[in-house]
Chains A and B, each alone.
Chain A
Amino acid sequence: MNNRIFLKPGRTNEEDRLNFIKFWVEYIKVHSDEEWSDQQNEVINSQIN
């Protein structure tokens, strides 16, 4: 748990969105394709049947 990466809150909506993109990319880099895609698929499959 000590290696956790934290998401920096943005001061504007735009900054917050951009921070999340960078945070998510770091997540992708340190987790397996299967692990991150499982989460991404929840987002996509909820919109596309």
Chain B
Amino acid sequence: MMGMLRFLSSMKLAVLLIVGIALFSILATIFPEVDAFSSWTFRLLVIAFFVNLSLCTIKILPKFWRQLHRKPADIVVSEDAENIEVPLEELSQWICEQRYKIYREEQGDVVKLLAVKGKMGLAAPHVLHIALLVILVGCLAYTFNESGAFMAYPEQKPLLPLELRERYGEDSYVEVISFETAFDKNGAIDNWITTFNLYLAGQLVGEQVQTMVNKPYQYKDLVIYQNSYGVQHLVEISGSPNEVENGTYALPDNNVFFLNGNHLIVANTNDGHFLHYGGDGTDQTGTYVTNGDKVDLGDGICVEYLEESAYTVLEVKTVRGLSIVFFGFLLATIASMLFWGGRYQEIQVLYRRQQGRAYVRFYSKSPMVVENMQEKWQEHWGNDKEEK
């Protein structure tokens, strides 16, 4: 049992899972037609990663806490450690020059020094691990949200998608007041803005509110995004031999509408609204139209171009769990900054006053850091330590 726990919390398993998730993700991007990220294989990988990370964190945190609050009295330096005859103050000064923070404790003849550097770096991986756990929990909560999108013209009152009405009440809808395109001072499109009233269960909860790209509207855990927009052309068709085809239509821009067995297409071009009728729509014959123009299509069929109208597409979704995910993101950012504090390292010194001798031990998780510390020590104290 303990062996199993040790394996589940091990760094070896962590590396295996990291490799597994990376390989799986590579395959998923190569074969996008397979919805790999919804598969149980991927979920199992993520669950295993979560378990490994949790157990590893539980195992390591107490050790980390003890290390963070270590006192000089806790250190044990054996007498066969590196040692040197040197005045204590001189040694302390050198350690300070290396930018270590020194904690000192005296026990009779013995002085113990604990010099530490990179405490923030010590915390960084643990904070990052916790951040990843928080993000994964948030992601799990986030998957239970409801969402849906709908299109609407100004003055329309589309109901919220069914999933959301089930949550907020049947009489939940958006009353679109206006949809406009905002331009910057150079005439380029700056944003798309929908102004609307929001009703939940018949109650007005958002009056004359706006949603736009990068600045969605939020009411409690319900968010409305400016998802997209489109253009339609309103036309009046008359004289078709097929009676049911006569009437007013909103034709989506550049889409085919079948009229009397032919293609009718209205498309926006740089020169205006281009109306094409006949054939399969691949030839470029047709005419430019403006509001009120009537075009005779032959066989007694007449199309009157009424106006162009823009519609907005709004996406509505609940965002429960998002604050957890964002908190995880915040922790991950803090962890990233902590990493720049450098790698944690200690110089442990046991100083015997009567002998005037210091016994020194270097500690870091990274053997390379220890080697570097030893090199620096040797450079300064190495060859002439007896004189010092």
Question: Do A and B share a complex?
Answer: no
Residues on B lying within 8 angstroms of A by beta carbon are: none
Name A's B-contacting residues (CB within 8 A): none
